[in-house]
Structure 1
Amino acid sequence: MTPATRAERSCPKCGAANATEARFCSQCATSLVPRSCASCSQALAHDAKFCGQCGAPVVA
């Protein structure tokens, strides 16, 4: 019998494996919760400074 493995996702900054329910990376503390633009709700890259859809600045 093979032990069950937990589902994981990679950190967008450092690439470390984290549990799917984790909100922050266990290695570098980068947020794992997807961000969205406050103006148009478009999904944002973790390092975005401006929205690629509407051009609004990303508020930290």
Structure 2
Amino acid sequence: MKMEERDRQIKEEGREEGERSKLLSQIQKKLGKGMTIEEIAEALEEEPAVIKELMGSL
């Protein structure tokens, strides 16, 4: 793998991890407000299955 490709891949992985971290933070806040999975999914424009999967890592 070329150095440029590796750098691009590392940046992409970092970006994905950052997005996941932000989404987890938003889920935690909304759970704290007593929102349901369906309400959280609608508010964050995600599928309920995605929210459930991420909640497993909280």
TM-score range, shorter chain: under 0.3
Higher relative contact order (CA 8 A, sep 6+): 2
Structure richer in strand, relative to its length: 1
> What TM-score do you get using the length of structure 1 for normalisation?
0.24
> What TM-score do you get using the length of structure 2 for normalisation?
0.25
Structure richer in helix, relative to its length: 2
